[in-house]
Amino acid sequence: MRTACLHAFVALCCLLLAGSCGPSASDTQTTADGATRITLWHAYRAEEETALLAAVDAFNDSRKDIHVEALKIPYQAFADKITNAIPRDNGPDLFIFAHDRIGDWAEADLIEPISIWAEPTDLDQYIESTVRALVYKKALYGLPLTFKSVALFYNTDLIPQPPSTDQEMVEMASRLTDTSKKTYGLAYANSQLYFTAAFIHGFGGQTLDIDGKLHLTDPGTVEGMRFCQELVHKHKVVPGDVDGSMLTNLFNSGRAAMVINGPWFIGEISKDINWSVAVLPTISSTGKPAAPFFGSEAVMMSRRSKHKRQTFEVMRFLAGPESSTIRLQQGGVPVAHKGTWDTARVDPVQRTFRKQIDRAIFMPNISDMRFVWEPTDQAIQRIVKKNATPADELATAQERIEASRR
């Protein structure tokens, strides 16, 4: 039924957009061989980049009329470069980024709605939530490539079986914590909303809903942050201040039995550590899973592309089965293409992240989300580091966000 609703929704988008967003004529930007040149920007590194370039090569080998040129942009500068380059006609034809900036870029008329090209039946190829994350104001703004969320990494020499509830997690972590030796049962970047969101959602809270309403003062949000606070100050199983490099060091030295992190962490784990990964536990008091944010990483089209039909053909290939198989097997990324999980070689770690996505919540893609991150992170820092009152800090953060949106 949900799939049928998605079909109907996208079909409506096609009708609404057909009159204003049709493909533009191809211009003369061609290669020496006469192929239309399509530029692709990405911020991938290491195995992810290698796999993406292999997929691009596969496309170029299969076509004589279109040639894709990929350009790597540093991640820290990526969003700003998109925002500044596209209006000046210095940007790419298409680019890869997470869905959470779609609202901003759509409002600024930087990205092209693709509902007119994306057939509803085509969208059945993808995990449904990764498509829904790319919809903004009844228009589809990309095709999903992969999804990313956090899960629970654990040292199998210390924890043979992962916890299934938050209570079990705290009990296991308590047995493996010795603060005098700076060893901890659990570690994660607990002063950042992205990493604490799983507990906020598990306790029934949220930050910003799809209609733009704030929920930082809701009881579930407050309880979720109180739980994060108690992990540090009551149970003392989590260090008070953790950044990415410290997290890696703690896990690789055996001084953190469990770590909450994303698939990017895999490449940082020492070969001397025996480890596995599990979905985050269920919150005992609510019966809800600890549900992290997930990002639907998508390929999006520039509004200023002069050859949109050809650009969409590249998008469809990069999100399709051949490219997805390459990116999953060579890059180890959890792809959004459903069929690939049935036909490609998939290891247990990748399947765990696939399972976690069914217990995750996509980050709001509306433009107001940009106002939420900094004030909320600052509130969380005071709660977990200084043991400040969660309700008071979250109320202050909500007031700051509301003021910035006026």
The string of pLDDT tens digits covering residues 228-254 is: 999 999 999 999 878 778 899 999 999
CA–CA gap between residue 318 and residue 66 (Å, rounded): 14
pLDDT of amino acid 271:
94
Beta pairing partners, 37 = 67
Does residue 190 register a pLDDT over 60?
Answer: yes
Binned at pLDDT 50, 70 and 90, residue 353 comes out as: very high
Find the length of the chain: 406
pLDDT of amino acid 12:
42
- The least confident of 51-65, 110-124, 185-199, 388-402 is 110-124
Does residue 14 register a pLDDT over 70?
Answer: no
pLDDT of amino acid 25:
33
- Percent of the chain past pLDDT 90, that is, above it, reads 79
Give start and end residues of each alpha helix (H) in 358-389: 373-386
Contact in structure between 299 and 82 (CB atoms under 8 Å):
no
pLDDT of amino acid 160:
95
> Taking all residues of the chain, what is their mean pLDDT, rounded to a whole number?
91
- How far is Cα of residue 332 from the mean position of the Cα atoms in its chain? 15
pTM recorded for the entire structure: 0.83
Binned at pLDDT 50, 70 and 90, residue 23 comes out as: very low
pLDDT in tens, 137-170: 999 999 999 999 999 999 999 999 999 999 999 9
Does residue 350 register a pLDDT over 50?
Answer: yes
pLDDT of amino acid 16:
39
Does residue 21 register a pLDDT over 70?
Answer: no
Beta pairing partners, 184 = 256
pLDDT of amino acid 245:
80
* Kind plus residue range of the DSSP H or E element containing 277: strand 275-278
Name residues whose C-beta falls within 8 Å of residue 338's C-beta, 6 or more positions apart in sequence. Answer: 124, 125, 126, 127
CA–CA gap between residue 296 and residue 395 (Å, rounded): 30
Does residue 108 register a pLDDT over 60?
Answer: yes
Binned at pLDDT 50, 70 and 90, residue 30 comes out as: confident
| Domains in the chain: ranges and CATH | 2-148+294-362 (3.40.190.10), 151-291+372-405 (3.40.190.10)
Mean pLDDT of 85-103: 95
What is the DSSP code string of 171-227?
HHHHHT-BGGGTBEEEE--TTSHHHHHHHHHHTT--SB-TTS-B-TTSHHHHHHHHH
Binned at pLDDT 50, 70 and 90, residue 105 comes out as: very high
Going 384 to 386 to 390 to 394, the CA torsion angle's sign is negative
Mean pLDDT of 329-338: 92
